[in-house]
Amino acid sequence: MNGAQSLIRTLVDAGVDVCFSNPGTSEMHFVAALDTVPEMRGVLGLSEGVVTGAADGYARIAEKPAATLLHLGPGLGNGLANLHNARRAHTPIVNIIGDHATYHKKYDAPLQSDIKAIAGSLEGWVRSSDSTTNVGADAAAAVAASQDAPGRVATLILPADVSWGDGGVAAAPVPPRGPLAVEESTVKSIAEILRTGEPVALLFGGPATREAGLRAISRIATATGAKPLVETFPARLERGAGLPTFERLGYLAEQATSQLDGAKHVIVAGAKAPVSFFAYPGKPSVLVPEGAQVHTLAELGDDVVGALEALADELAPDTEPVLQQANRPALPSGPLTVQNWVEVIGALLPEGAIISDEANTSGWTLPAATAGAPRHDVLTLTGGAIGQGLPVATGAAVAAPDRPVIALQSDGSALYTISALWTQARENLNVTTVLLNNRAYAILRMELQRVGAEDSGPKANDLLDLSRPDMDFVKIAQGLGVPATRATTAEDLAAQFRRALAEPGPHLIEAAIP
């Protein structure tokens, strides 16, 4: 077999059987090899941000990596923003980048660039495979590296001649390194702090935002009075009726400061000590209250859930978690507003839904409206690089064909990776996109004030305005092969959302929000 065939065979044997792809000439042998390994599924994206975002969404739901297939340095560049989000989510991704043949690189052909330097910025794992014989083993190492706790982007650079050469050897899977156990003494010392009765905030993230972690945290909080806070942008947060529900730490520093106010101790588990998303003139970067101490129960890469369960067993052996009751908002009526659209979602969210949330400023009140809805997963904008929402929804739908995927997408962020809709149509994915069109980079209008640039004039405001011309997302979606409608009232949105959920395949609803 050739190098490409050994690579794909190795991936499949290690459980990686979906490859989100945007190939070019240097990847043609990889593409040809797809037909020799029937278990591997190739999914085409029309731009690399779709490919990398889909791989992120896939792994957040499938709990195993997908592969990507990108074309040299420019392809990696186009995919870098969503790889950045995946890096912050600690999502395992096997990021395959075709390169010039090893002997061709010295000629500095037009598409030559420093792929390793660009991939290095992801602070994951990077290797360029240097021989056909080794590419199988390199692939097995990449799969393991991507899954070594807590998960990362593993970039495998694949020179064209390594891909087309004969003598490929499929390699056996390499077991990834699991999370490190937290020492009992650490659990005991954290328990001591919680027993003092002093005000404690318990900030948690990573693997703790799933059911087992949430239950342990609820027990700890119930027994001790500690205040649990979910990290601001969890990769995958399990929510809804029957699960404990907690606040997320606010995106705005002033929200977060208020949530943490009064805490004498901040205990972190699978999350970092809270810092402001951006710096603002005259405001602190660190959000830990003055005089409060930060204590680490478990780092990312540790067995965060195990440590939380041990802490719960120590502090609250007989305490049951407090579970969210089923409770939906009533269906609202009248013209759509930034308040009422989330009530429609809360009222109608189907059982087992996956929400890809890039609603941004239009979605501030979404968590409250959906807390008592049937159990669901929320995938958030982990790295702050907008353009994640539609691709992540696409990948999640590939991972879970039997679950309804809901993409809540703001207009300003949508255009970076809008062609994800085409991939949804091609793969007949069950994704319902609600496109919140407020015709502005609304978050930047707010940020322009918050950074103290109050004296902005018409030129500044014009750069944050997405009208002139208004975008028609119904037409854009239809042009990309996705059925689409427009809602201007809560009744419209409810009727269209119900219909979209009832029909297979992707749909888009443009919700006009003032």
Peptide bond into 38 cis (omega under 30): no
Give one word for 427, left, alpha or beta, with left for phi > 0 and alpha for psi -120 to 50.
alpha
Q: If binding means CB under 8 A, how many residues of this protein chain bind a second copy?
A: 104
Residue from 64, 74, 495, 501 in contact with a second copy (CB under 8 A): 74
Q: Output the six-digit token pair for 502.
A: 């009832």
Min CB(207)–a second copy separation in Å? 18
Residue 69 vs 194, nearer CB to a second copy? 69
Spatial contact of 200 and 311, defined as CB atoms under 8 Å apart: no
Nearest in space to 125 (alpha carbons), one of 95, 89, 160: 95
Q: CA Rg, the chain, in Å?
A: 24
* C-alpha of 35 from chain center: 30
Subset of 251-310 contacting a second copy (CB under 8 A): 272, 275-279, 281, 285-286
Residue 287 vs 347, nearer CB to a second copy? 287
Spatial contact of 223 and 199, defined as CB atoms under 8 Å apart: no
Indicate the DSSP class of residue 361: G
Beta bridge partners of 230: 204, 248
Residue from 53, 57, 75, 205 in contact with a second copy (CB under 8 A): 75
Subset of 149-168 contacting a second copy (CB under 8 A): 160-161, 164
First to last CA, the chain: 59
DSSP β-ladder status, 125-128 and 227-230: unpaired
Min CB(219)–a second copy separation in Å? 29
Contacts with a second copy, 6-45, as mask; x by CB under 8 A:
---------------x-xxxx-xx-xx-xx----x-x-x-
Residue 338 binds a second copy (CB under 8 A) = no
Spatial contact of 347 and 331, defined as CB atoms under 8 Å apart: yes
Min CB(401)–a second copy separation in Å? 18
Subset of 81-120 contacting a second copy (CB under 8 A): 81, 83-85, 88, 100-101, 103-104, 107-111, 113-114, 117-118, 120
Beta bridge partners of 286: 275
Q: Name the residue with tokens 């039997």.
A: 402
Residue 42 vs 199, nearer CB to a second copy? 42
Residue 233 vs 246, nearer CB to a second copy? 233
Residue 445 vs 498, nearer CB to a second copy? 445
Residue 293 vs 478, nearer CB to a second copy? 478
Give the number of other Cβ atoms within 10 Å of residue 31's Cβ.
Answer: 17
State the Cα–Cα distance between residues 58 and 395, nearest whole angstrom: 4
Contacts with a second copy, 361-400, as mask; x by CB under 8 A:
---------------------xxxx-x-------------
Residue 23 vs 270, nearer CB to a second copy? 23
State the Cα–Cα distance between residues 124 and 23, nearest whole angstrom: 22
Spatial contact of 246 and 210, defined as CB atoms under 8 Å apart: no
Residue 223 vs 466, nearer CB to a second copy? 466
Q: Name the residue with tokens 């009222």.
A: 347
Residue from 338, 425, 495, 501 in contact with a second copy (CB under 8 A): 425
Residue from 258, 262, 475, 488 in contact with a second copy (CB under 8 A): 475
Residue from 194, 203, 400, 474 in contact with a second copy (CB under 8 A): 474
Subset of 433-472 contacting a second copy (CB under 8 A): 443-444, 447-448, 451-453, 455-460, 462-464, 466, 468-472
Residue 27 vs 492, nearer CB to a second copy? 27
Which residues lie closer than 8 Å to 299 by C-beta, 6 or more apart? 270
Contacts with a second copy, 175-214, as mask; x by CB under 8 A:
----------------------------------------
Nearest in space to 205 (alpha carbons), one of 229, 182, 171: 229
